[in-house]
Structure 1
Amino acid sequence: MCAAPKQGQNLPAGVDVEKETVLTGQVTDSAGSPVAGAFVRLLDSTGEFTAEVVASPTGDFRFFAAPGTWTLRALSSVGNGDTTVSPEGPGVHTRDITVAK
C-alpha cells in the first residue's frame, strides 16, 4: 500500500532543527487508534487561525512555527480535540491530539 511517510519521524532534507521550531504529533481516537484525514489547525496564543494541514493516513501532522504558545486543534468525523504546546526555542516538539465526540 502506498502512503505518506510518517511525518513525526522523518523531516524533509535540509531542515536544521537547531534553527527551526517544528511542531509534530499524531491524531488518535480515545482507543489510541490513528485518525487519518483529520484537519489539524495551528492557532496562535490569541486563538487566531494560522495554518491547517490534513493528517496523514497514520494520523501524523507537522507544522513549522516560531517559539511561543500554540494550540493544535484536530477536527474529524471521529471527534475533535486540542492541546497546547509552548516551545521556547528551536527543535522538534511533539504533542499528540486525542479526539472524541
Structure 2
Amino acid sequence: MPDSQAGDTPTEPVVKATTAITTSQKTASMKIGDTKAITVTADPTDATDFDVTKVTSASSDDKIATVSADRTITAVAVGSATITYTFNAFTATVVVTVTAAE
C-alpha cells in the first residue's frame, strides 16, 4: 500500500456519461439481398459508460429489412423500413429503402 501524505485525497475515476448515440449513416438505399454494416457510436465519443455490446436493434418491418445482433441490415423485399438502434434511453435510426435487384 503506497504511503499517503496528509491532505492526499484518493481520486475517483471520472464517469463520462453517454448523452446520445449516432449511426454511421441516417439512410440506406439497398437492393434485395444486399447487406450493410452499421456502426453505432456514443456522443461524446469518449463516454465511459458506453458499451457497444449492449446496443439493441429492431426493424419496423422484418418483411422489408432485417437487422442482426451485429447491427448488419439485410434487404429482404421492396419497400421501406426503419431500423432503430437503442442504448439505455437513447435511440438512433436508419431509414432503409429497398429496391428490386437488377
Q: Taking structure 1 as the reference length, what is the TM-score of the superposition?
A: 0.45
> For the pair shown, which has the larger CA radius of gyration, 1 or 2?
2
